[in-house]
Amino acid sequence: TKTRFLTGITPSGTPHLGNYAGMMRPAIAASRTGDVENFYFLADYHALIKCQDPERVNRSTLEIAASWLAAGLNPEHVTFYRQSDIPEIPELTWFLTCVTGKGVLNRAHAYKAAQDKNAEAGKEGDDGVTAGLFMYPVLMGADILAFNANKVPVGRDQIQHIEMARDMAASFNHLYGEHFVLPEAAVDDNVATLAGLDGRKMSKSYDNTIPLFSTPAQLKKLIGSIVTDSRAPGEPKDVEGSALFQIYQAFATAEETAALRQAYADGIGWGDAKTLLFECIDRELAPLRERYNYLMAHPQEVEAILLKGAEKARTYSGPLLHKLRGAVGLRPLT
Ligand code: TYM
Protein backbone atom coordinates (compact mmCIF):
# COMPACT_ATOMS: atom_id res chain seq x y z
CA THR A 1 0.00 0.00 0.00
CA LYS A 2 1.05 3.57 -0.70
CA THR A 3 2.39 5.89 1.95
CA ARG A 4 -0.36 8.26 3.00
CA PHE A 5 0.57 11.85 3.94
CA LEU A 6 -1.88 13.98 5.86
CA THR A 7 -1.57 17.55 7.08
CA GLY A 8 -3.76 20.45 8.10
CA ILE A 9 -3.75 24.18 8.63
CA THR A 10 -6.00 26.05 11.05
CA PRO A 11 -8.17 28.74 9.41
CA SER A 12 -8.15 31.36 12.15
CA GLY A 13 -6.52 34.20 10.25
CA THR A 14 -5.05 35.25 6.93
CA PRO A 15 -2.41 32.84 5.57
CA HIS A 16 1.11 34.27 5.70
CA LEU A 17 4.48 33.70 4.05
CA GLY A 18 5.48 31.33 6.89
CA ASN A 19 2.53 29.02 6.18
CA TYR A 20 3.34 29.17 2.50
CA ALA A 21 7.11 28.61 2.54
CA GLY A 22 7.06 26.32 5.60
CA MET A 23 4.12 24.15 4.71
CA MET A 24 2.05 24.74 1.57
CA ARG A 25 4.88 24.96 -0.95
CA PRO A 26 6.68 21.79 0.22
CA ALA A 27 3.39 19.90 0.60
CA ILE A 28 2.33 20.80 -2.94
CA ALA A 29 5.74 19.81 -4.32
CA ALA A 30 5.44 16.47 -2.51
CA SER A 31 1.95 15.88 -3.93
CA ARG A 32 3.38 16.02 -7.46
CA THR A 33 5.62 13.00 -7.02
CA GLY A 34 2.79 10.58 -7.72
CA ASP A 35 3.75 7.51 -5.70
CA VAL A 36 2.09 8.68 -2.46
CA GLU A 37 -1.43 9.55 -1.33
CA ASN A 38 -2.11 13.01 0.09
CA PHE A 39 -4.82 14.25 2.41
CA TYR A 40 -4.66 18.01 3.04
CA PHE A 41 -7.37 19.73 5.01
CA LEU A 42 -8.61 22.93 6.63
CA ALA A 43 -8.83 22.38 10.38
CA ASP A 44 -11.88 24.54 11.04
CA TYR A 45 -12.93 22.66 14.19
CA HIS A 46 -9.48 23.58 15.51
CA ALA A 47 -10.10 27.21 14.57
CA LEU A 48 -12.96 27.36 17.10
CA ILE A 49 -10.44 26.81 19.89
CA LYS A 50 -8.80 30.19 19.37
CA CYS A 51 -11.31 32.10 17.29
CA GLN A 52 -14.92 32.72 18.34
CA ASP A 53 -15.66 35.16 15.57
CA PRO A 54 -17.89 33.26 13.08
CA GLU A 55 -17.31 35.72 10.24
CA ARG A 56 -13.55 35.37 10.65
CA VAL A 57 -13.60 31.55 10.69
CA ASN A 58 -15.72 31.56 7.56
CA ARG A 59 -13.59 34.12 5.76
CA SER A 60 -10.32 32.49 6.79
CA THR A 61 -11.50 29.09 5.57
CA LEU A 62 -12.18 30.54 2.13
CA GLU A 63 -8.86 32.43 2.12
CA ILE A 64 -6.84 29.39 3.06
CA ALA A 65 -8.63 27.10 0.61
CA ALA A 66 -8.08 29.67 -2.17
CA SER A 67 -4.41 29.99 -1.14
CA TRP A 68 -3.78 26.26 -1.44
CA LEU A 69 -5.43 26.18 -4.85
CA ALA A 70 -3.67 29.34 -6.07
CA ALA A 71 -0.35 27.90 -4.89
CA GLY A 72 -0.87 24.96 -7.23
CA LEU A 73 -2.64 22.25 -5.25
CA ASN A 74 -4.27 19.91 -7.75
CA PRO A 75 -7.49 18.42 -6.29
CA GLU A 76 -7.03 15.43 -8.59
CA HIS A 77 -3.74 14.55 -6.85
CA VAL A 78 -4.73 15.54 -3.32
CA THR A 79 -7.79 14.72 -1.25
CA PHE A 80 -8.50 18.31 -0.21
CA TYR A 81 -11.28 18.93 2.29
CA ARG A 82 -12.65 20.83 5.25
CA GLN A 83 -12.50 19.06 8.61
CA SER A 84 -16.07 19.98 9.59
CA ASP A 85 -17.43 18.25 6.47
CA ILE A 86 -16.27 14.93 7.93
CA PRO A 87 -18.68 13.85 10.72
CA GLU A 88 -16.48 10.81 11.42
CA ILE A 89 -13.82 13.10 12.93
CA PRO A 90 -15.79 14.31 15.98
CA GLU A 91 -17.11 10.78 16.48
CA LEU A 92 -13.61 9.34 16.49
CA THR A 93 -12.52 12.19 18.78
CA TRP A 94 -14.85 10.78 21.42
CA PHE A 95 -13.58 7.21 21.01
CA LEU A 96 -10.01 8.47 21.41
CA THR A 97 -10.94 10.70 24.36
CA CYS A 98 -11.98 7.55 26.18
CA VAL A 99 -8.60 5.84 25.69
CA THR A 100 -6.42 8.90 26.47
CA GLY A 101 -5.09 9.54 29.95
CA LYS A 102 -6.00 12.95 31.33
CA GLY A 103 -2.46 13.23 32.63
CA VAL A 104 -1.11 12.91 29.09
CA LEU A 105 -3.16 15.93 28.02
CA ASN A 106 -1.92 17.87 31.06
CA ARG A 107 1.51 17.75 29.43
CA ALA A 108 0.46 18.96 25.96
CA HIS A 109 2.41 22.04 24.79
CA ALA A 110 -0.57 24.23 23.89
CA TYR A 111 -2.22 23.67 27.26
CA LYS A 112 1.02 24.11 29.20
CA ALA A 113 1.81 27.31 27.32
CA ALA A 114 -1.57 28.73 28.37
CA GLN A 115 -0.87 27.74 31.98
CA ASP A 116 2.60 29.27 31.91
CA LYS A 117 1.15 32.50 30.54
CA ASN A 118 -1.35 32.61 33.40
CA ALA A 119 1.39 31.95 35.95
CA GLU A 120 3.42 34.86 34.57
CA ALA A 121 0.38 37.11 34.82
CA GLY A 122 -0.23 35.95 38.40
CA LYS A 123 -3.51 34.24 37.47
CA GLU A 124 -5.00 30.85 38.32
CA GLY A 125 -3.52 28.06 36.12
CA ASP A 126 -6.70 27.25 34.20
CA ASP A 127 -7.98 30.82 34.00
CA GLY A 128 -9.58 31.34 30.57
CA VAL A 129 -8.50 27.89 29.36
CA THR A 130 -11.33 26.05 27.62
CA ALA A 131 -11.77 22.28 27.57
CA GLY A 132 -11.39 22.70 23.80
CA LEU A 133 -7.78 23.84 24.17
CA PHE A 134 -7.15 20.98 26.59
CA MET A 135 -8.60 18.46 24.09
CA TYR A 136 -6.74 19.88 21.08
CA PRO A 137 -4.38 16.88 20.76
CA VAL A 138 -7.27 14.40 20.74
CA LEU A 139 -9.04 16.20 17.91
CA MET A 140 -5.75 16.27 16.05
CA GLY A 141 -5.30 12.54 16.71
CA ALA A 142 -8.74 11.90 15.21
CA ASP A 143 -7.80 13.95 12.10
CA ILE A 144 -4.89 11.64 11.50
CA LEU A 145 -6.35 8.29 12.57
CA ALA A 146 -9.69 8.72 10.73
CA PHE A 147 -7.62 8.24 7.56
CA ASN A 148 -4.93 5.95 8.90
CA ALA A 149 -2.22 8.31 7.66
CA ASN A 150 1.36 7.01 8.02
CA LYS A 151 3.20 10.31 7.66
CA VAL A 152 2.27 13.71 9.01
CA PRO A 153 4.36 16.64 7.68
CA VAL A 154 4.49 19.28 10.41
CA GLY A 155 6.71 21.91 11.99
CA ARG A 156 8.74 21.04 15.10
CA ASP A 157 6.11 22.54 17.38
CA GLN A 158 3.66 19.80 16.36
CA ILE A 159 5.84 16.71 16.90
CA GLN A 160 4.52 16.12 20.41
CA HIS A 161 0.95 16.01 19.08
CA ILE A 162 1.87 13.34 16.55
CA GLU A 163 3.49 11.29 19.29
CA MET A 164 0.27 11.57 21.29
CA ALA A 165 -1.76 10.43 18.27
CA ARG A 166 0.54 7.44 18.01
CA ASP A 167 -0.07 6.57 21.66
CA MET A 168 -3.83 6.89 21.19
CA ALA A 169 -3.66 4.52 18.20
CA ALA A 170 -1.63 2.01 20.19
CA SER A 171 -4.01 2.14 23.19
CA PHE A 172 -7.03 1.70 20.97
CA ASN A 173 -5.44 -1.20 19.08
CA HIS A 174 -4.49 -2.84 22.36
CA LEU A 175 -8.08 -2.69 23.61
CA TYR A 176 -10.04 -3.35 20.43
CA GLY A 177 -7.76 -4.99 17.84
CA GLU A 178 -5.43 -3.71 15.11
CA HIS A 179 -7.47 -0.91 13.56
CA PHE A 180 -4.89 1.84 13.27
CA VAL A 181 -1.45 2.21 11.73
CA LEU A 182 0.90 4.16 13.99
CA PRO A 183 1.49 7.60 12.40
CA GLU A 184 4.87 9.32 12.29
CA ALA A 185 5.79 13.00 12.09
CA ALA A 186 7.65 14.00 8.92
CA VAL A 187 9.79 17.01 9.73
CA ASP A 188 11.71 18.43 6.80
CA ASP A 189 14.98 19.86 8.07
CA ASN A 190 15.51 21.80 4.85
CA VAL A 191 12.41 23.85 5.56
CA ALA A 192 13.41 26.42 8.13
CA THR A 193 10.99 28.28 10.33
CA LEU A 194 10.43 31.53 8.51
CA ALA A 195 11.19 34.69 10.49
CA GLY A 196 8.61 37.45 10.80
CA LEU A 197 8.90 41.25 10.63
CA ASP A 198 10.40 41.47 14.13
CA GLY A 199 12.83 38.55 13.67
CA ARG A 200 10.84 36.08 15.79
CA LYS A 201 9.04 33.15 14.13
CA MET A 202 6.40 34.48 11.74
CA SER A 203 3.14 33.83 13.56
CA LYS A 204 -0.37 35.20 13.84
CA SER A 205 0.05 35.27 17.61
CA TYR A 206 3.08 37.62 17.37
CA ASP A 207 1.35 39.94 14.91
CA ASN A 208 4.52 39.97 12.80
CA THR A 209 3.27 38.33 9.61
CA ILE A 210 3.42 39.20 5.94
CA PRO A 211 0.09 38.07 4.44
CA LEU A 212 0.64 35.73 1.52
CA PHE A 213 -1.61 37.71 -0.80
CA SER A 214 -0.84 41.30 0.05
CA THR A 215 -1.06 43.73 -2.85
CA PRO A 216 2.38 44.69 -4.24
CA ALA A 217 2.09 48.06 -2.46
CA GLN A 218 1.30 46.41 0.91
CA LEU A 219 4.05 43.87 0.39
CA LYS A 220 6.57 46.66 -0.27
CA LYS A 221 5.43 48.54 2.82
CA LEU A 222 5.63 45.47 5.08
CA ILE A 223 9.06 44.53 3.78
CA GLY A 224 10.09 48.10 4.61
CA SER A 225 9.19 47.42 8.24
CA ILE A 226 11.38 44.30 8.67
CA VAL A 227 13.80 44.92 11.55
CA THR A 228 17.41 45.66 10.64
CA ASP A 229 20.29 47.05 12.64
CA SER A 230 21.43 50.65 12.30
CA ARG A 231 24.47 50.03 10.12
CA ALA A 232 24.79 52.52 7.29
CA PRO A 233 25.32 51.73 3.60
CA GLY A 234 28.97 50.79 3.04
CA GLU A 235 29.30 49.06 6.43
CA PRO A 236 29.45 45.24 6.24
CA LYS A 237 26.26 43.50 7.47
CA ASP A 238 25.74 40.12 9.19
CA VAL A 239 23.57 37.49 7.50
CA GLU A 240 23.46 35.65 10.81
CA GLY A 241 20.27 36.66 12.62
CA SER A 242 19.07 38.81 9.71
CA ALA A 243 15.34 38.23 9.19
CA LEU A 244 15.61 39.94 5.83
CA PHE A 245 18.29 37.52 4.63
CA GLN A 246 16.44 34.53 5.98
CA ILE A 247 13.22 35.40 4.17
CA TYR A 248 15.16 36.14 0.97
CA GLN A 249 16.74 32.70 1.14
CA ALA A 250 13.30 31.07 1.22
CA PHE A 251 12.37 32.65 -2.12
CA ALA A 252 15.62 33.13 -4.01
CA THR A 253 17.71 30.69 -6.06
CA ALA A 254 20.97 29.41 -4.55
CA GLU A 255 22.95 31.80 -6.81
CA GLU A 256 20.87 34.80 -5.75
CA THR A 257 21.29 33.86 -2.10
CA ALA A 258 25.07 33.62 -2.54
CA ALA A 259 25.06 37.01 -4.26
CA LEU A 260 23.14 38.65 -1.40
CA ARG A 261 25.50 37.08 1.13
CA GLN A 262 28.38 38.74 -0.73
CA ALA A 263 26.46 42.03 -0.94
CA TYR A 264 26.00 41.96 2.85
CA ALA A 265 29.76 41.57 3.27
CA ASP A 266 30.28 44.42 0.81
CA GLY A 267 27.99 46.71 2.79
CA ILE A 268 24.75 46.84 0.77
CA GLY A 269 22.34 49.44 2.18
CA TRP A 270 19.20 48.15 3.91
CA GLY A 271 16.96 49.99 1.45
CA ASP A 272 18.58 48.24 -1.50
CA ALA A 273 18.42 44.86 0.22
CA LYS A 274 14.70 45.38 0.86
CA THR A 275 14.12 46.22 -2.79
CA LEU A 276 15.82 42.95 -3.77
CA LEU A 277 13.64 41.04 -1.31
CA PHE A 278 10.47 42.64 -2.61
CA GLU A 279 11.33 41.78 -6.21
CA CYS A 280 12.20 38.23 -5.33
CA ILE A 281 8.97 37.52 -3.41
CA ASP A 282 6.79 39.34 -5.89
CA ARG A 283 8.24 37.38 -8.80
CA GLU A 284 7.01 34.14 -7.20
CA LEU A 285 3.68 35.41 -5.90
CA ALA A 286 2.43 37.60 -8.77
CA PRO A 287 1.02 34.72 -10.85
CA LEU A 288 -0.49 33.10 -7.75
CA ARG A 289 -2.08 36.38 -6.71
CA GLU A 290 -4.02 36.51 -9.96
CA ARG A 291 -5.51 33.06 -9.44
CA TYR A 292 -6.15 33.80 -5.76
CA ASN A 293 -8.12 36.94 -6.59
CA TYR A 294 -10.15 35.01 -9.13
CA LEU A 295 -11.03 32.31 -6.58
CA MET A 296 -11.93 34.83 -3.88
CA ALA A 297 -14.36 36.36 -6.37
CA HIS A 298 -15.82 32.91 -7.17
CA PRO A 299 -16.27 31.25 -3.76
CA GLN A 300 -18.77 28.75 -5.17
CA GLU A 301 -15.95 27.20 -7.23
CA VAL A 302 -13.87 26.73 -4.09
CA GLU A 303 -16.89 25.32 -2.29
CA ALA A 304 -17.52 22.75 -5.04
CA ILE A 305 -13.90 21.56 -4.83
CA LEU A 306 -14.09 21.21 -1.02
CA LEU A 307 -17.36 19.27 -1.14
CA LYS A 308 -15.99 16.90 -3.73
CA GLY A 309 -12.88 16.44 -1.57
CA ALA A 310 -14.99 15.67 1.50
CA GLU A 311 -16.96 13.09 -0.43
CA LYS A 312 -13.71 11.44 -1.51
CA ALA A 313 -12.31 11.55 2.04
CA ARG A 314 -15.45 10.01 3.51
CA THR A 315 -15.19 6.95 1.28
CA TYR A 316 -12.33 6.10 3.66
CA SER A 317 -13.46 7.50 7.04
CA GLY A 318 -17.09 6.31 6.68
CA PRO A 319 -16.37 2.56 6.45
CA LEU A 320 -13.60 2.86 9.06
CA LEU A 321 -15.92 4.43 11.65
CA HIS A 322 -18.60 1.88 10.81
CA LYS A 323 -16.09 -0.82 11.71
CA LEU A 324 -14.92 1.02 14.84
CA ARG A 325 -18.45 1.45 16.17
CA GLY A 326 -18.83 -2.30 16.03
CA ALA A 327 -15.39 -2.84 17.58
CA VAL A 328 -16.17 -0.74 20.67
CA GLY A 329 -19.62 -2.34 21.12
CA LEU A 330 -21.94 0.28 19.63
CA ARG A 331 -24.73 -0.37 17.16
CA PRO A 332 -23.46 0.21 13.61
CA LEU A 333 -25.28 3.14 11.99
CA THR A 334 -27.27 1.86 9.03
P1 TYM B 1 -1.08 25.90 12.05
O2 TYM B 1 -2.31 26.34 11.36
O3 TYM B 1 -0.64 26.65 13.25
O4 TYM B 1 0.14 25.94 11.03
C5 TYM B 1 0.03 25.31 9.76
C6 TYM B 1 1.41 24.90 9.27
O7 TYM B 1 2.22 26.04 8.96
C8 TYM B 1 3.50 25.89 9.55
N9 TYM B 1 4.03 27.22 9.95
C10 TYM B 1 5.25 27.66 9.67
N11 TYM B 1 6.28 27.11 9.00
C12 TYM B 1 7.41 27.82 8.86
N13 TYM B 1 7.58 29.05 9.38
C14 TYM B 1 6.60 29.67 10.08
N15 TYM B 1 6.81 30.89 10.57
C16 TYM B 1 5.36 28.97 10.25
N17 TYM B 1 4.19 29.24 10.86
C18 TYM B 1 3.38 28.17 10.68
C19 TYM B 1 3.26 24.97 10.77
O20 TYM B 1 4.41 24.23 11.11
C21 TYM B 1 2.16 24.06 10.31
O22 TYM B 1 2.67 22.87 9.70
N23 TYM B 1 -2.67 21.94 14.74
C24 TYM B 1 -2.18 22.35 13.42
C25 TYM B 1 -3.18 21.99 12.34
C26 TYM B 1 -3.65 20.58 12.39
C27 TYM B 1 -2.96 19.42 11.92
C28 TYM B 1 -3.81 18.31 12.19
C29 TYM B 1 -1.72 19.23 11.33
C30 TYM B 1 -4.85 20.16 12.87
N31 TYM B 1 -4.94 18.80 12.76
C32 TYM B 1 -3.44 17.01 11.85
C33 TYM B 1 -1.35 17.90 10.99
C34 TYM B 1 -2.21 16.82 11.26
C35 TYM B 1 -1.96 23.86 13.40
O36 TYM B 1 -2.56 24.60 14.18
O37 TYM B 1 -1.17 24.33 12.39
d(CA 311, ligand 1 centre) in Å: 24
- Report strand pairing: 3-9 vs 36-42: parallel
φ, ψ for residue 201, nearest 5 deg: -50, 135
Ligand 1 atom closest to residue 194's alpha carbon, by position in its atom list: 13
**ipTM value:** 0.96
Q: Looking at the structure, do residues 116 and 242 belong to the same domain, yes or no? A: no
Instruction: Please tell me the predicted confidence (pLDDT) of residue 154.
Output: 87
Q: Looking at the structure, do residues 186 and 77 belong to the same domain, yes or no? A: yes
* Best residue among 4, 10, 93, 163 to mutate for probing ligand 1, ranked by most atoms within 8 Å of CB: 10
User: How many CB atoms within 10 Å of residue 38?
Assistant: 25
Number of domains in the chain: 2
The 10s digit of each residue's pLDDT in 193-232 is: 899 999 999 998 899 999 999 999 999 999 999 999 999 9
Confidence bin at 333 (pLDDT 50/70/90): confident
Candidate from 18-22, 146-150, 324-328 with smallest mean pLDDT: 18-22
Q: Looking at the structure, do residues 47 and 101 belong to the same domain, yes or no? A: yes
29 within a domain of the structure (yes/no):
yes
Query: Is 228 annotated as a binding-site member?
Result: no
* Best residue among 5, 23, 148 to mutate for probing ligand 1, ranked by most atoms within 8 Å of CB: 23
Asked if residues 197 and 209 have their Cβ atoms less than 8 Å apart, the reply is: yes
Query: What percent of the chain has pLDDT above 70?
Result: 100
Q: Looking at the structure, do residues 110 and 184 belong to the same domain, yes or no? A: yes
What is the arithmetic mean of pLDDT over 54-62?
A: 96
What is the arithmetic mean of pLDDT over 88-106?
A: 98
Q: Looking at the structure, do residues 42 and 131 belong to the same domain, yes or no? A: yes
Confidence bin at 9 (pLDDT 50/70/90): very high
Asked if residues 148 and 181 have their Cβ atoms less than 8 Å apart, the reply is: yes
270: domain range?
213-294
Nearest CA to ligand 1 atom 36: 10
d(CA 9, ligand 1 centre) in Å: 5
d(CA 40, ligand 1 centre) in Å: 12
Query: Is 38 annotated as a binding-site member?
Result: no
Query: Is 19 annotated as a binding-site member?
Result: yes
Q: Which amino acids bring their CB within 6 angstroms of ligand 1? A: 6-10, 18-19, 22-23, 43, 46, 140, 143-144, 152, 154-155, 158, 193-194, 201-203
Instruction: Please tell me the predicted confidence (pLDDT) of residue 205.
Output: 84
The 10s digit of each residue's pLDDT in 255-293 is: 999 999 999 999 999 999 999 999 999 999 999 999 999
CB-based contacts of 269: which residues, under 8 Å, 6+ apart? Answer: 232, 233, 234
Q: Looking at the structure, do residues 166 and 221 belong to the same domain, yes or no? A: no
Higher pLDDT, 189 or 31: 31
In whole angstroms, give the CA distance from residue 168 to residue 220: 46
Instruction: Please tell me the predicted confidence (pLDDT) of residue 33.
Output: 83
What CATH code is carried by the domain that includes residue 61?
A: 3.40.50.620
d(CA 157, ligand 1 centre) in Å: 8
What is the arithmetic mean of pLDDT over 69-85?
A: 97
Q: Looking at the structure, do residues 171 and 233 belong to the same domain, yes or no? A: no
Q: Looking at the structure, do residues 84 and 188 belong to the same domain, yes or no? A: yes
Q: Looking at the structure, do residues 263 and 317 belong to the same domain, yes or no? A: no
Q: Looking at the structure, do residues 144 and 267 belong to the same domain, yes or no? A: no
Ligand 1 atom closest to residue 6's alpha carbon, by position in its atom list: 34
